[in-house]
Structure 1
Amino acid sequence: MTNLKYKRIILKISGEALAGDQGFGIYPPVISSIAKQIKDAHDLGVEIAIVCGGGNIWRGKTGAELGMERAQADYMGMMATVMNALSLQDALEQIGVPTRVQTSVEMRQIAEPYIRRKAIRHLEKGRVVIFAGGTGNPYFSTDTTSVLRAAEIGADVILMAKNDVDGVYSADPNKDQTAVKYEELTHLDVINKQLGVMDTTASSLSMDNNITLVVFNMNQEGNIKKVIEGENIGTTIKGENK
């Protein structure tokens, strides 16, 4: 633990990452691969909390654009994150990693309600905690959830695991060959340059609470462990005074 750059982390996994090449739904081989990477990091002794997105199953914003009432559509999205959290919990426990799922919307038969002090205690006991259900409120993204939970549990960093994207670029590298990869940015840079790393609410909350983010490619095996050990991969986003 003494040689690790980060001792307590939030790992943000998008719903799309859990779908693999299918683009929709939950693809068990991909979840198994992610679980193995998490286990490698967990074996180092680092305390790991995870926030899952739900875009592989349902996006509240998309539902609203199709004519649904936005709050109702967002609540459906929260349920999607719970399904992803349970699938990830199963994959982790199959390889011997103890986990707890905590949800912002109570569903006691399948998960604990989110309680900050209990989450911290689980981390201290070596359990991986998976936060599901977003913030429990419509109109807030799981990116914002990641920042909120990071601030609440005193995480050292948010690791934003991306699907085949190895950092933050000035433009989409798949569409613009002149796109430049940033090694380091501030939260204000992200907002001013409209880089789309997270939504503005999440970026502002990160800036206000001086939370560090690392954006990296999750599909390259071993990257989670490399970031925790301090290897300079992806893009690091820091507060102005870090």
Structure 2
Amino acid sequence: MIQKKYENSAKAVADIENGSTVLVGGFGGSGLPTELITALMEQGAKNLTVVSNNIGAVSDGVAKLISNGQVSKIICSFPVGPHAEELVQLLESGRIELELVPQGTLAERIRAGGAGVGAFYTPTGVETELGEGKEVREINGKKHLLEYAITGDYALIKANKADRWGNLVYNKAQRNFNPVMASAATITIAEVEEIVEVGEISAEEIVSPSIYVHRLITVDTKEERRVAGNE
């Protein structure tokens, strides 16, 4: 069985290219891959499309990448917060594009991307500004909007624990968008608090199977992580 790489955060994000679509997990601060976000900020990839539930404060979360001039488009449900004034200025100047998506629709678009479903219909957003320009179909007497799946080149996620193969366990609210994002990206990078041996996690506890997880880092103060095997 092929082992996962135990990366340091800088190495884990080193190949994220300009123009990539990056899915970033988290709901507020819960399940937010802070170390990976910081590493991506330091790496400096630009013209990113970032998909995240919310943006966060300037000092934390996706707002770091926005403030650093790395994001050209943000797809999210909750763009308000301490950074809102800066975001408005970027929007008005045309330096960033915002696609606002209802939270349930955002989760389902990402889930659909991971499941190989190209699009789906939902009544959410019908006859609102969010539905303008979208295909409308009546199903069982109710209007629905056509929404397209979301996939990413990379997903940056956080879990509580992983085994060496990358099977992930989440702690309560930490679960949020992370599992669906793990399945919807070409390369998923997981930030975890602990890595254990294969077999130490019960199959009943595993939420994200290792097939979806390509790289692991642990959150600690060590500069280097041991590399074991190949992706």
Name whichever structure is richer in helix by fraction.
1
Task: Please indicate the TM-score interval, normalised by the length of the shorter structure.
Answer: 0.3 to 0.5
Bigger CA radius of gyration: 2
Bigger relative CO (Cα 8 Å, ≥ 6 apart):
2
Tell me the TM-score normalized by structure 1: 0.34
